[in-house]
Amino acid sequence: MPYWSDYGKERTVEAGTLVRGMFACVLPGVISFLCGFYCVLHAWLNAWSEMLKFGDRLFYEVPHKYS
């Protein structure tokens, strides 16, 4: 990781270098956040709801015919 290879060494930090470093870390952070969001709130909770017989597909099932 080129942005963290010089971590801890004293040097002057310029504004452009700081901004480039922040933008280089934004994309991996957003991808990690979206993957975590999908894994926890979609896959994990949907798996538990299916195991507990409270899945989404049961919500849309028509239980009775009234005619």
Domain boundaries, the chain: 34-67
The Cα–Cα gap between 1 and 16 comes to: 18
**Confidence at residue 46, expressed as pLDDT on a 0 to 100 scale:** 82
Mean pLDDT across the chain: 81
19/45 Cα distance (integer angstroms):
37
Cβ proximity of 24 and 3 under 8 Å: yes
Render pLDDT for 37-64 as a digit per residue (tens, 0 to 9): 998 888 888 888 878 877 666 566 766 6
